[in-house]
Structures are given as C-alpha cells and as structure tokens.
C-alpha cells in the first residue's frame, strides 16, 4: 500500500526534559566542550567548531588567535578583540572571543555566517544548530534515484524546533542502525540508533527532528508505530501517523558489513533480502540499498 500522508497525528506522551546549560550541534555533531552564552551570543571551543567543515583550523597560543581557512575564506579572531578579519576585511563582533579554562571560546554565529552556514537558535531548549550540508549531498538529494536521495537524506545536518532538549541514546557497542522510510519516499524517515528512535522530515536541505523516543527494555506492541517492539521511556514531539504506511526498512549492521532490507506494513513483511556492502564497488551508494520490489525512481 502506498503511504497516505494524513494530516492526522498522534500526540506523544508529555515529557519535559530539563535544560540547565546551553548546547550546540554543528552539522549534527554535538559540542562536548562547554557551550557558553554571552549577551545572547553562543560560544564554543575550537575543537567543537571543527564540525563546521573540512577546513584548516589553527590556534596561535602566543597571539591567542584562531584562524580558519577553507574554500576561499580565511577568518581570524583573537581573544579580547571585537574585530574579526574575514579575508582581510574587518568586522565588528558584539562580544569578543575569550579564554575560558584555558580554551579559546569562539563566537559561533559570526564564524558560521562567514562560511555561509545557517544558524538556528532554539530558545526553549537553549540549543544552537549550525548547518552547512556538502554540495555533493545537496545534489544527491535532488537525484532521481531513490536510494541515492535516501542516503543523502540520512546524512544532512539536523535541527530541532521542539521546546525540549533532544534525548540521548545510551552508550552501547556500535552494531549499526535501522532506517525506515515510507515506500517510494526519501524526505521523511525514522532512525533507530540503539535505544533511541528519531523521526525527521527534510526541509531546505536540513533534517528537522519532529519526534523522538528513548526505548525501554520491556516489549510492547504499538498500533501506530507497528515496526517498534519496545516501550517508550521518554518521548518528545509528535508522532507521525504511520499505521497505514508501507515502510521500506533498512537494517545496517557494521560487524557483517551488510544491509538487510524489506517492505513491511502493519500486517507483516511483504518482501525482504540482504546486500553485502562494498564501498569500493562503483555501484555503491551507501547503507540504503535498492529494494527490487520498490521502484528505484523518485
């Protein structure tokens, strides 16, 4: 059955996640160093800023100066100075970079803007999101090949407009991930990463988090999210109504280097198989593979 994208939605259980300190995600990489807010400006460490892109990052301890160079742009900021150099042009910062516990704290928005990255501040969740998808990824999103577009969709940077902080998965040995797309679609999907299930929708080359749940250990059958078999310990956001979807399922496992695929609905499995992955093969597209029983065209 082709999924029907009804406007009806299923409300998640009310779960409030306390946010005591600011956070930042840079191209979906969470900042694990301290994130500080000064006069409405978010600051991160140089180490965390490296998620912005494959640039050259340098820190001069004597001058207390950071330089970032890449793709025709060089940005220089100095501790205590409200002047930022962008390709030699001086720009005035609202708040100067500063040293904190021996680390240079860098103004996130100013540097992101210089490299044409987008910045979204989620005030209720006290979280900054910086997104700058690769040009190759944007091109793949536009591909007429369904698997190519899906592989791009799962790698674009994400944001969240939900008022709660994002839930975090319990650390476990990495085995792989499960991906669930509506049949024939690429721009909305679930990712199951250990005990964390997240639902995203693609807008403007960015994945927006719509719903998320942390799974418990007990088993449970869900009438809406029929492909999940565990209880929900916490939920944020709004569940999409998927009970009438036919879902393209991809179970990627690192240890065996394979993706197990299938078409499933609330009544069971309609088709299935597996593909051994070889990223040196010219036909390799990523962990999302073609399903013979599903059209490969968007």
Q: What is the pLDDT of residues 14-67, one digit of tens each?
A: 334 445 699 999 999 999 999 999 999 999 999 999 999 999 999 999 999 999
The whole-number pLDDT of residue 297 equals 63
Distance CA 235, CA 246 (A): 24
Q: Average pLDDT, stretch 212-240? A: 95
Distance CA 231, CA 240 (A): 17
When pLDDT is averaged across residues 266-285 and rounded to a whole number, the result is 94
Place of tokens 């029907």: 4
Using CA atoms, how far apart are residues 56 and 143, in angstroms rounded to an integer? 31
The Cα-based distances of 295 to 4, 138, 259, 285 in angstroms read 17, 22, 18, 16
Side-chain-side CA neighbours of residue 252 (13 Å): 18
Is residue 45 a contact partner of residue 30, using CB atoms and an 8 Å limit?
no
With a cut of 50, say whether residue 9 has pLDDT above it: no
The answer, yes or no, to whether residue 89 has pLDDT greater than 80, is yes
What domains lie within the chain, and their CATH numbers? Answer: 9-16+135-276 (no CATH), 23-123 (3.30.457.10)
Instruction: Give tens-digit pLDDT for 101-125.
Output: 999 999 999 999 999 999 999 999 9
CA dist 31 and 35 (Å) reads 7
Separation between Cα atoms, residue 195 and residue 186, nearest integer Å:
23
Output phi, psi for 189, to 5 deg.
Answer: -165, 160
Beta bridge partner(s), residue 207: 158, 202
The 3-state secondary structure of 189-200 reads EEEEECCEEEEE
Position 173 confidence tier, pLDDT thresholds 50, 70, 90 = confident
Quick one: average pLDDT of 94-102? Answer: 95
For residue 90 the two structure tokens come to 């001086």
Say how many C-beta atoms besides its own lie within 10 A of residue 9's C-beta.
Answer: 14
pLDDT greater than 80 at residue 193: yes
- Would you state the pLDDT for residue 298? 66
Sign of the C-alpha dihedral computed for residues 54, 136, 29 and 100 taken in this order: positive
Tokens (6 digits) for 239: 């569940």
The 10 Å Cβ neighbour count of residue 165 is: 20
Rounded CA separation 145/186 (Å):
10
């Amino acid at each position: 059955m082709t999924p029907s994208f009804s406007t009806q939605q299923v409300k998640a259980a009310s779960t409030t996640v306390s946010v005591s300190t600011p956070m930042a995600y840079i191209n979906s990489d969470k900042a694990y160093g301290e994130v500080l807010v000064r006069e409405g400006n978010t600051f991160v460490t140089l180490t965390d800023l490296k998620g912005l892109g494959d640039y050259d990052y340098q820190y001069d301890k004597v001058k207390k100066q950071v330089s970032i160079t890449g793709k025709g742009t060089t940005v220089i900021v100095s501790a205590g100075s409200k002047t930022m150099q962008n390709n030699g042009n001086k720009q005035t910062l609202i708040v100067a970079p500063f040293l904190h516990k021996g680390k240079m704290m860098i103004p996130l928005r100013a540097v992101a803007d210089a490299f044409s990255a987008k910045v979204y501040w989620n005030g209720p969740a006290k979280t900054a999101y910086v997104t700058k998808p690769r040009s190759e990824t944007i091109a793949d999103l536009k591909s007429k090949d369904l698997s190519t577009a899906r592989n791009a969709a799962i790698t674009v940077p994400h944001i969240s407009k939900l008022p709660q902080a994002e839930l975090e998965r319990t650390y476990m040995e990495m085995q792989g991930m499960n991906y669930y797309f509506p049949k024939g679609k690429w721009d909305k999907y679930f990712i199951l990463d250990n005990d964390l299930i997240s639902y995203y929708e693609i807008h403007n080359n960015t994945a927006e988090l719509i719903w998320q749940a942390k799974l418990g250990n007990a088993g449970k059958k869900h009438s809406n999210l029929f492909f999940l078999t565990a209880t929900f310990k916490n939920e944020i956001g709004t569940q999409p109504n998927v009970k009438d979807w036919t879902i393209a399922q991809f179970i990627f496992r690192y240890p065996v280097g394979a993706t197990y695929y299938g078409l499933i609905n609330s009544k069971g499995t309609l088709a299935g198989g597996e593909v051994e992955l070889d990223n040196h093969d010219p036909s390799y597209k990523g962990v999302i593979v073609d399903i013979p029983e599903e059209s490969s065209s968007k």
